[in-house]
Amino acid sequence: MKNRKFKATLLLTGTLGIFVGYRLSGLPNLQPYKLLNIVGLLYNLLAVFVLSEVLVSSVRWKQFCIEWVAPILMWSHVTVPPGAIVGAGVARLVGRGPSAPTVFAFAFSVFWLHGHVGGFSSGTNGCTAALFQEGYRVTLALLRLHLVGYLLCQLIAAVLGL
């Protein structure tokens, strides 16, 4: 990813985080397990997107997933949660954020979880690129999407929803 495109990606994903954090903070009764379920469904949707690449086995599609999809997903985990924290703070300051503490806690936990579980970059970083073939790296990214989507998000959401 080129430097200018990288900066644009960071700016856009950070702005997306601010917008999402502000809008979610305005909801009157936001439940964390519902947020987890939505995030899990989004991860699964992205995993199916990457899985379609595996079924098609196009070299250009693999290259796109490795050079664009995985880095954007990784950096969105770095920029969207802090942006959501800022958006929740702004909503709280202007008095339009009844769910701002929930959004703050959720965004902070997603940011923390990304640092401890590892990012989606494991399929694209130099060490993995040296060890594994291109197709296997995409499979690693797909596995990570499914694990985060199913195990960490939807199962926890199901338990919290009981």
Q: Contact 19/87 with Cβ under 8 angstroms?
A: yes
Which pair of structure tokens corresponds to residue 74?
């990784």
**79-114: pLDDT as tens digits:** 888 999 999 999 999 988 899 999 998 888 877 766
Angle between helices 70-93 and 100-117 (to 10 degrees): 150
Show contacts of 91-94: CB within 8 Å, 24+ apart: 91/21, 91/22, 91/25, 91/26, 92/25
103 C-beta neighbours (distance < 10 Å), count: 29
Q: What's the pTM?
A: 0.73
pLDDT at residue number 59: 75
Residue with tokens 């490795």: 66
Angle between helices 32-56 and 100-117 (to 10 degrees): 40
Give CA–CA dist 161/155, Å, rounded: 10
**30-83: pLDDT as tens digits:** 888 888 888 778 777 777 776 665 556 677 777 777 777 777 877 887 888 899
103 membership: H or E segment, kind and range? helix 100-117
Q: How far is CA 99 from CA 6, 18, 27, 88, 153, in A?
A: 32, 15, 6, 8, 20
CA angle 80, 37, 20 (to 5 degrees): 30
